[in-house]
């Protein structure tokens, strides 16, 4: 039976800007079951990375609860959080920017073990680092090399080894393969899948790449301007995309096939500013089906089928 590892309830993250309050994450609620993957998709500026960072409390939430195995980590003190964070790790998009250029591969992977004082003997630490390198498919000979000497795929493997060094239960993967070439991308995705199988890891997988998220996730949350506008299992979302934005997003994926090509829905305009939002559906100005109601009220997420939630007033719009 699926058991919740992480429950995020009504989490908000606002930033103060000179122009007004920026609603980066605006009341998101979701659950990730142990051993499963939640994909979070959306375009630049939709709040997906901020959500990932708030969940790990790398950014403080403005409001809401973040329950990790039932414990609200939003209430933990900084010291308590530091301990908790061993269980909750992150893999970043740009492996070069997230690795210290003056440290060797060995030192980078070793650092968290040192900081958290997990292994005190330096010889045992080295043994553990070499073990981790093997787990992620990095040859031992790279132990003393620097990140800039390696290619993007290997750099990302360092980032993964570093995250794994804490034996985490939960990992936020923020665009972990976007900077990589497709053939390398596939290697890393397979690695993350194998690690999940072997270690029972739970992932929050943030990406803008819809074909990757479809392949990788059990459930998918689609975000638009700080809100989750649709949430469903991966198969359900791709079979019955219901929110007009999801429909447009899925139709926009360039499919590498010549047959059964989908009809494109071309959206007008671009994502608007998350500052001083009007009380209305955030997608209304770009929506092909928007009515008067959409411009006057904000729709809540509602369950339309078991496990399938949509925030949209429209009921009888065409199937995507």
Does position 19 interact with another protein (CB under 8 A)? The reply is: no
The residue range among 17-25, 89-97, 256-264, 300-308 that interacts with another protein, by the rule CB under 8 A, is: 256-264
Does position 255 interact with another protein (CB under 8 A)? The reply is: yes
Q: Helices 105-115 & 122-135, crossing angle to 10 degrees?
A: 120
Among 59, 184, 199, 275, binds another protein (CB under 8 A): 184
Query: Considering the complex, what minimum distance in angstroms separates the CB of residue 199 from another protein?
Result: 18
Among 17, 190, 197, 293, binds another protein (CB under 8 A): 190
Number of residues that bind another protein (CB under 8 A): 41
Does position 44 interact with another protein (CB under 8 A)? The reply is: yes
Does position 257 interact with another protein (CB under 8 A)? The reply is: yes
Does position 224 interact with another protein (CB under 8 A)? The reply is: no
Which CB sits closer to another protein, 89 or 207?
A: 207
Which CB sits closer to another protein, 98 or 246?
A: 246
Among 3, 60, 148, 266, binds another protein (CB under 8 A): 266
Does position 287 interact with another protein (CB under 8 A)? The reply is: no
Does position 193 interact with another protein (CB under 8 A)? The reply is: yes
Does position 258 interact with another protein (CB under 8 A)? The reply is: yes
Does position 281 interact with another protein (CB under 8 A)? The reply is: no
Which positions from 127 through 166 interact with another protein, judged by CB under 8 A?
151-153
Query: Considering the complex, what minimum distance in angstroms separates the CB of residue 122 from another protein?
Result: 32
**Residue 231 CB neighbour total at 10 angstroms:** 26
Does position 270 interact with another protein (CB under 8 A)? The reply is: yes
Q: What is the DSSP string of the chain?
A: ---EEEEEEEEEEEEEETTEEEEEEEEEEEEEETT-EEEEE--TTSSHHHHHHHHTTSS--SEEEEEETTEEGGGS-HHHHHHHTTTEEEE-S-TTTTS-TTS-HHHHHHHHHHHTTS--SHHHHHHHHHHHHHHTT--GGGTT--GGGS-HHHHHHHHHHHHHTT--SEEEEESTTTTS-HHHHHHHHHHHHHHHHHHT-EEEEEES-HHHHHHH-SEEEEEETTEEEEEEEHHHHHHS--SHHHHHHHHTSPPS-SSSPPPP-PPPS----SBS--SS-TTGGG-SS--HHHHHS-PPPEEEETTEEE--S-SSSPP-
Residue ranges in contact with another protein by CB under 8 A:
43-44, 151-153, 181-187, 189-190, 193, 208, 210-212, 214-216, 234-235, 238, 248-249, 251-258, 261, 264, 266-267, 270-271
């Amino acid at each position: 039976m699926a058991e919740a590892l992480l429950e995020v309830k009504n989490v908000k993250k606002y930033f103060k800007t000179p122009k007004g309050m920026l609603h980066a994450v605006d009341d998101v609620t979701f659950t990730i079951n142990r051993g499963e993957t939640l994909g979070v998709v959306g375009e630049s500026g939709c709040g997906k990375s901020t959500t990932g960072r708030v969940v790990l409390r790398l950014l403080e939430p403005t409001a809401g609860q973040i329950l990790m195995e039932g414990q609200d980590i939003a209430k933990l003190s900084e010291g308590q959080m530091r301990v908790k964070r061993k269980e909750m790790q992150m893999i970043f998009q740009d492996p070069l920017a997230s690795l210290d250029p003056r440290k060797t591969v060995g030192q980078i992977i070793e650092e968290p073990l040192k900081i958290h004082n997990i292994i005190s003997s330096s010889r045992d630490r080295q043994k553990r680092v070499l073990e981790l390198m093997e787990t992620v498919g990095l040859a031992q000979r790279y132990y003393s090399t620097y990140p800039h000497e390696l290619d993007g795929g290997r750099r990302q493997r360092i980032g993964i080894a570093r995250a794994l060094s804490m034996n985490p239960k939960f990992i936020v993967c923020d665009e972990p393969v976007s900077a990589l070439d497709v053939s390398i991308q596939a290697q890393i995705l397979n690695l993350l899948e194998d690690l999940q199988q072997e270690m029972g890891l739970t992932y929050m997988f943030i990406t803008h790449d819809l074909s990757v998220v479809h392949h990788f996730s059990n459930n998918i949350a689609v975000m638009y301007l700080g809100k989750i506008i649709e949430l469903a299992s991966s198969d359900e979302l791709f079979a019955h995309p219901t929110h007009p934005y999801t429909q447009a997003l899925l139709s926009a994926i360039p499919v590498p096939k010549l047959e059964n090509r989908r009809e494109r829905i071309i959206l007008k305009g671009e994502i608007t500013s998350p500052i001083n939002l009007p009380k209305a559906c955030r997608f209304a100005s770009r929506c092909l089906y928007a009515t008067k109601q959409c411009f006057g009220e904000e729709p809540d997420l509602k369950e339309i089928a078991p496990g399938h939630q949509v925030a949209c007033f429209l009921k009888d719009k065409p199937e995507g």
